[in-house]
Amino acid sequence: MTQETPEVRPIRPGRLFTVLWAFTVLIQLLSLQTRLAIFGGTGWLTYIKFTSFPARIGFVLVLAMLCAALCGIWTALFIFIGKKLKAAPEKISRWCATCWIVFMAVDLLFRHKIGELLGNAFSFFEFATGVGGVWRMIEQAFQWYGDVILLGTGGVIVFTAATWAFFKWFFKPRPKLSTLDRLPKPVLVAITLVSLIFGLLFMSVMAPQFPATHKLLASETIFGATFNALVNVSSDFDGDGYGAFDLPPDEMPFDASMHPHALDTPNDGIDQDLLLGDLQTSDIPATTKAYIETQGLANDMSYLDRRHIIVVLMESVRHDMLDAHIDGNPVMPELNALVERGGIRVDGAFATRGFTQNSVTQTFWGSFFDPGHSLVDDFKALGYHTAVFNGENLSDEGFDESVGWNRAGDTVVDPKTIAANVNHHQSVPALMLMDEAESFLSTYDTAQPLFLYVFYQDPHFPYQQDNPPVFTDRDIKRTEIAVETRPRLWRTYANQVHHLDMAAGRLIHALEKKDMLDNALVIFISDHGESLFDDGYLLGHGIAIGDVMTHTAMVVYGAKHDIPEMLSHPDIRRFIHQDLRSAQTRAKIRHTERPIMQFIGATTVPSAISHRYADGSRVTYEFASRSAWREGVAASFEGQQQLLVIPPHENTPVDARIEASHVIKESGRWRAPIKEPLKDAQIQQLIREWEYMQWYHRADK
């Protein structure tokens, strides 16, 4: 008797490919519109929009073709593997569809959650460098959002099981073939190949004609990012890390010495970074050159004035918190009281970048770059007792080494050394930190001048330091943080700032009790600002260039020297040195008012740079798109748009829920694109200063 051969059912990929492709395009469009309002809607920094009908259709077609290429490759890959494993057609289809859908869901879930919490300007690279590396970023993610991550992981597992069950039914053998099942394989292969070729062409030679679409797809979709990476790797002929169609492009793809962000050596006749031609020192104003070349200098140390030096950095305190009231009560009464008794409120202080790491190191270095010594070394060499009371572990972001406490610190206190921190938290409340500082100061021998550094960490995101409620019945939960719950978010944040201010008051009182206050230079400054959905979208810091994230609160007491109208953290070391000089020397010092250099991204490879001027205006240049814009008050520029803002919720009931579109208002600030950035005088000045600073402090001269 002859044994029957099992029926070999052919794999019909038509339905599989079409379902994956249609699902992918639809979900991607919904995601982009929800997060970035690309087809119209509100949202700050969502300036790439397709409002005309041809632009919308064109973008959809480009996205559809990119999706078709990768869906086709994915389908072909699973069919190939399935045949090798001799798996049943329906099983191949089920695995292929389930893995693709789950992969897409995880990607979009992650993008939406990041967008909801940190805004559309978030960058892994920029964020990781700002918090001390990838592992530190992961550690903080679990510290802040461990429950959300675990809940999300559980949700993905349940979603995977449900998707598997659905496709088990959807791809089961059917007695009658559908129209999609009858799609010929050559047609699907042709669609995939044509879409693949188009995608590579669009992300390369066609990209300059459609810069907005190119940038949006490359930065906000996994499909555009994949094609962009393929194009850049294949066009990086000289191995310098930049492709001929990168963002920004390498216009000299066969010369490894010339590429975006290369150091442009002055006066050598070569434009290494491909911007504005060769850097000429004659193009740099003498005052700018002098400022850059004296950054990070330790000076000659010949001070006659040996006052105590107290530097206090305050985490995430917005500039406007000095004026803020909740239900009529001031949020920061202690620092305001210090101003009333003779302290100076500095309203022109800005962070160069909205990250703690940069602000702390720049304060001690007096520079954007590590000169190999810091304020700690300065005062150690002068015979000062050097002491630090840090509300966060010094080793978390490497401050023990980068600032110099491990080599020149006499008294070093952080959460690891505080006995009261019985739960071994990575950070402690400012009031607990002050218990240690007060104990130290109460027995300190004031015959030896003191250099004291204090860092209060309380208002750091997610605003849940262990402090009792003052302005709210309870702190906002991490899972509650959203623009709709901004009244509770605002009060929770203000509550943390208030306790920081109370700690500052205790420090002032402790110095006064030891008769040290009036023989000291005391500087309070926040490391950066904080966005609390002020524009209806962005939350946190370090992800955008703007006043809300960079304008710092600053109060100085005991200064004998004029304070510059505009300054940033790299200027503090210089100012302290100048203020300690003799009266005769101080009288000869004249400040040249200059704009504040700001940037976003890594110090050596920023995504954008900016000049913030004393009149409130700002110009910003973005390297990737080679575009620029001008921002200010009472502006009048072609194509300008007024920025929107949600006012503070100082008197709104804590449990009130808001709708961003109903409460957002015109801010009085305008932003307009600069059509030809490299021909604009302010942009030229900005780029030249950045180029010279990078070369002077990084090149081997």
**pTM, to two decimals:** 0.85
pLDDT at residue 48 above 90? no
Q: Please tell me the predicted confidence (pLDDT) of residue 312.
A: 98
Task: Average the pLDDT over 53-62 and give the result.
Answer: 93
Residue 677 and residue 701 in one domain: yes
List the single range of 116-130, 464-478, 656-670 with lowest mean pLDDT: 116-130
pLDDT at residue 178 above 80? no
Task: Average the pLDDT over 144-172 and give the result.
Answer: 77
Dihedral (CA of 279, 280, 281, 282) sign? negative
Residue 575 and residue 611 in one domain: no
Residue 436 and residue 447 in one domain: yes
Q: Please tell me the predicted confidence (pLDDT) of residue 2.
A: 47
Q: Please tell me the predicted confidence (pLDDT) of residue 646.
A: 92
HEC assignment per residue over 474-534: CCCCHHHCCHHHHHHHHHHHHHHHHHHHHHHHHHHHHHHHCCCHHHEEEEEEECCCCEECC
At 140, the pLDDT band (50, 70, 90 cuts) reads low
Closest CA to 543 of 555, 557, 529: 529
Task: Average the pLDDT over 663-678 and give the result.
Answer: 91
Domain boundary (544, 568, 592) is at: 592
Residue 654 and residue 574 in one domain: no
In the structure encoding, which two tokens stand for residue 432, read together?
A: 């607990």
Q: Please tell me the predicted confidence (pLDDT) of residue 597.
A: 97
Q: Please tell me the predicted confidence (pLDDT) of residue 150.
A: 75
Paired strand residues for 427: 392
In the structure encoding, which two tokens stand for residue 530, read together?
A: 């904080």
Residue with tokens 């202690």: 334
Q: Please tell me the predicted confidence (pLDDT) of residue 499.
A: 97
Task: Average the pLDDT over 99-116 and give the result.
Answer: 78
pLDDT at residue 47 above 60? no
At 481, the pLDDT band (50, 70, 90 cuts) reads confident
Residue 655 and residue 527 in one domain: no
Q: Please tell me the predicted confidence (pLDDT) of residue 147.
A: 65
Provide the residue type at 220 as one letter: E
pLDDT at residue 445 above 70? yes
Residue 584 and residue 611 in one domain: no
Q: What angle do CA 67, 73, 79 make, to 5 degrees?
A: 130
Helix or strand run (H / E) with residue 676: none
pLDDT at residue 554 above 70? yes
Contact 120, 42 (CB under 8 A): no
- Whether 167 is covered by a domain: the verdict is yes
Q: Please tell me the predicted confidence (pLDDT) of residue 80.
A: 87
Contact 329, 505 (CB under 8 A): no
Q: How many CA atoms lie within 13 A of 122 on its CB side?
A: 21
Q: Please tell me the predicted confidence (pLDDT) of residue 311.
A: 98
pLDDT at residue 584 above 70? no
What is the per-residue pLDDT across 332-357, written as a single tens digit (0 to 9) for each?
999 999 999 999 999 999 999 988 99
Q: Report which of residues 233 and 625 the model is more confident about.
A: 233
- Whether 283 is covered by a domain: the verdict is no
Q: Report which of residues 349 and 40 the model is more confident about.
A: 349
Task: Average the pLDDT over 219-234 and give the result.
Answer: 91
- Whether 96 is covered by a domain: the verdict is yes
- Please tell me which of 34-48, 533-547, 548-562 the model is most confident about, judged by mean pLDDT: 548-562
Above pLDDT 70, what percent of the chain? 88
At 329, the pLDDT band (50, 70, 90 cuts) reads very high
d(CA 407, CA 372): 12
Above pLDDT 90, what percent of the chain? 59
pLDDT at residue 200 above 50? yes
Task: Average the pLDDT over 374-400 and give the result.
Answer: 92
pLDDT at residue 588 above 70? no
What φ, ψ does residue 36 adopt, rounded to 5°?
Answer: -120, -5
Residue 350 and residue 445 in one domain: yes
- Give the range of the structural domain holding residue 698, as residue numbers without chain letter: 595-701
Domain boundary (202, 222, 237) is at: 202
- Whether 2 is covered by a domain: the verdict is no
CATH number at residue 398: 3.40.720.10
- Whether 321 is covered by a domain: the verdict is yes
Q: Please tell me the predicted confidence (pLDDT) of residue 1.
A: 44
d(CA 13, CA 182): 9
Provide the residue type at 519 as one letter: N
Domain boundary (565, 592, 619) is at: 592
Residue 588 and residue 562 in one domain: yes
Contacts made by residues 24-31, CB under 8 angstroms, sequence distance 24+: 24/67, 24/71, 24/100, 24/104, 25/60, 25/63, 25/64, 25/67, 27/104, 27/108, 28/63, 28/67, 28/221, 28/223, 29/60, 29/63, 31/108, 31/111, 31/112
- Whether 639 is covered by a domain: the verdict is yes
Counted domains in the chain:
3
Residue 588 and residue 666 in one domain: no
Contact 437, 507 (CB under 8 A): yes
Nearest-10 Cα torsion for 656, 657, 662, 668: 70
Residue 53 and residue 134 in one domain: yes
In the structure encoding, which two tokens stand for residue 399, read together?
A: 């401050």
List the single range of 247-251, 446-450, 487-491, 645-649 with lowest mean pLDDT: 247-251
Helix or strand run (H / E) with residue 464: none
Average pLDDT, the chain: 88
Contacts of 347 (CB under 8 A, 6+ apart): 319, 554
What is the per-residue pLDDT across 605-654, written as a single tens digit (0 to 9) for each?
998 999 999 999 999 999 988 899 999 987 677 788 888 899 999 999 99
CA 72 to each of CA 68, 77, 388: distance values in angstroms, whole numbers, following the listed order? 6, 9, 59
Residue 534 and residue 622 in one domain: no
Residue 586 and residue 636 in one domain: no
pLDDT at residue 577 above 70? yes
In the structure encoding, which two tokens stand for residue 394, read together?
A: 């010094």
- Whether 530 is covered by a domain: the verdict is yes
Task: Average the pLDDT over 449-478 and give the result.
Answer: 94
At 7, the pLDDT band (50, 70, 90 cuts) reads very low
Contacts of 691 (CB under 8 A, 6+ apart): 264, 273, 275, 279
- Whether 229 is covered by a domain: the verdict is no
CA 166 to each of CA 15, 17, 170, 243, 670: distance values in angstroms, whole numbers, following the listed order? 15, 16, 6, 42, 51
Q: Please tell me the predicted confidence (pLDDT) of residue 637.
A: 77
Angle between helices 681-698 and 286-293 (to 10 degrees): 30
What φ, ψ does residue 524 adopt, rounded to 5°?
Answer: -105, 125
pLDDT at residue 390 above 90? yes
